[in-house]
Amino acid sequence: MAARKSMTGGIPSAWIKGYNEVLNTPDWNWVESVIYDDVLYEHGEGGQAFTKAKNNMMSSVCGHTHTEGYVRWLVGKKFRVFSCQTGVGINHKSYAAAYAKNFKRQVIGCAVVLDSGKLPISLLMEL
């Protein structure tokens, strides 16, 4: 988001640091999505976990949608896939969430997937 804002504000891209430099992670490879144990993990921009699972017919875990946290299943005669929406890991009173102060309350939570990609668990934090 900072890079997009800087471009629209006329700041040269050479002045913007990359994730690796800012976070001191020189050996990390930043990707938009990854598939592990036949489960798609994505930030979720451009769709929610249920939509991703249905469109790809593949179990999917997504974040991004701050106001939802769930595990939902799609089951057919010869398939079973899940969708897991994680919510967010920030306090709704934080500066990072200030833009959404008039939105629906955020779901504070995370998710884990166990049993080689077969057991999704959505964990919501106490409010």
Region 53-57 average pLDDT: 94
Alpha carbon distance 1, 8 (integer Å): 11
CB 44 within 8 A of CB 63: yes
Place of tokens 């106490």: 126
Q: What is the pTM of this model?
A: 0.79
Q: How confident is the model at residue 46 (pLDDT cuts 50, 70, 90)?
A: low
Question: Between residues 100 and 78, which one has the greater pLDDT?
Answer: 78
Report the alpha-carbon distance of residue 114 to residue 54 in Å, rounded. Answer: 21
Task: State whether residue 54 is helix, strand or coil.
Answer: helix
Q: Is it the case that residue 19 has pLDDT exceeding 90?
A: no
What average pLDDT is seen over the chain?
Answer: 87
* Helix segments in the chain, DSSP class H: 2-8, 19-23, 49-56
Give the residue, 73 or 66, on which the prediction is more confident: 73
